A and B are shown apart, each in its own frame.
Chain A
Amino acid sequence: MPTVIVGSARDIVEHCAVARFLFVDFPLGNPCGKPWDGAMQGRIVRDAVSLFETATRTQTTVISSERWGDDGWRARYMRVSDDNRAELARMGEALRRRRAARDRRPEVG
């Protein structure tokens, strides 16, 4: 079945390899446009579906011209620094405890 992916993690999608990809360089979560901006969402989705007809070979990436605006998210997302290193270690420990508790739970049914 012909597919188009519209997404914001270019490296992950291209590492996977897909047929047709519209890359929208936005923070992860809103690849189809900024919330409540129906005009932008309309443009992005139109560009995405146009790839069904314009792409002629696999692993076609088209870069959306839309802009998020404030670029502060680029440096903030999943940031690791001396400020949060101890907190991240604590979060990891808590997650491992929750997983261990889940795996000890008996199967039901």
Chain B
Amino acid sequence: MSDDRAVAYMARTRAYYEAQGFDRAYQYAHHDDAPFAPLPKPLSECTLGLVTTASLRPREPLEPREVASAPVTPVPERLFGDDLSWDKEATHLDDVASFCPIVPLEALVGEGVIGALAPRFHCAPTEYSQRATIEHDAPEILRRLRDDGADVALLVPL
């Protein structure tokens, strides 16, 4: 049921920006395949790294975005995303766990479902340029995840 009702975001975004007078439609990232890295050991022995598209501080709409990292302890009280596209009429970002799930993940570590949570989470800048993401930001985030000892990564876009 939910499958049929899923919002067609690419088509809706295209119509929205056309109505704003932008004549070149955004080219969403597209790949025919995606690499599949198998789990190297049971999840209960893995360290999990967390990646969000929210930011550590408020940004202006056209402000440059950069990869950033922060400790998972203490859990941040606020993260920010007013400069990003999400449904600001339907919801809000006041509860960090609703989009950057450090607290739910810590509970799963407590249960032994996950071995450990990496000491930092990472903020991925959403860039208009896919080249910037592929050539700069993604490798930088992977480097930081490996520095943290992460075996697997949970990616949570707003």
Chain A interfacial positions (CB closer than 8 Å to B): 1-7, 9-13, 15-19, 23, 25-38, 41-42, 44-46, 48-49, 52-53, 55, 57-59, 63, 67, 71-74, 76-78, 80, 85, 88-89, 91-93, 95-96, 98-99, 102
The distance in angstroms between the C-alpha atoms of A102 and B94, with both chains bound, is 30
- The answer to whether A2 touches B91 (Cβ under 8 A) is no
Cβ-closest chain B residue relative to A59: B34
- The answer to whether B85 touches A35 (Cβ under 8 A) is no
Interface size on B, residues (CB 8 A): 72
Q: Which 8 A-B pairs have the closest CB atoms?
A: A92-B20, A27-B87, A58-B36, A73-B90, A35-B95, A27-B90, A29-B86, A45-B104
Chain A residues lying within 8 Å of B75, measured Cβ to Cβ, are none
The distance in angstroms between the C-alpha atoms of A57 and B38, with both chains bound, is 9
The distance in angstroms between the C-alpha atoms of A97 and B2, with both chains bound, is 40
Which residue in B12, B30, B114, B155 is a CB contact (below 8 Å) of A3? B155
CB of B90, distance to nearest CB on chain A (Å): 4
**A2-B152, A3-B153, A53-B39 given; A99·B30 CB < 8 A:** no
- Give 10 pairs: A residue, B residue, CB < 8 Å, sorted on A: A1-B37, A11-B10, A28-B85, A28-B87, A29-B91, A44-B104, A49-B43, A57-B36, A71-B5, A92-B19
- The answer to whether B87 touches A16 (Cβ under 8 A) is no
Chain A residues lying within 8 Å of B12, measured Cβ to Cβ, are 77-78
Please count the residue pairs between chain A and chain B whose beta carbons lie under 8 angstroms apart in the complex.
Answer: 207
CB of B103, distance to nearest CB on chain A (Å): 7
- The answer to whether A85 touches B39 (Cβ under 8 A) is no
- The answer to whether B103 touches A38 (Cβ under 8 A) is yes
Chain B residues lying within 8 Å of A13, measured Cβ to Cβ, are 157
Chain B interfacial positions (CB closer than 8 Å to A): 2-3, 5-10, 12-13, 15-17, 19-22, 28-40, 42-43, 46, 48, 61-62, 81, 85-95, 97-101, 103-105, 107-108, 113-114, 142, 145-146, 150-158
- The answer to whether B156 touches A31 (Cβ under 8 A) is yes
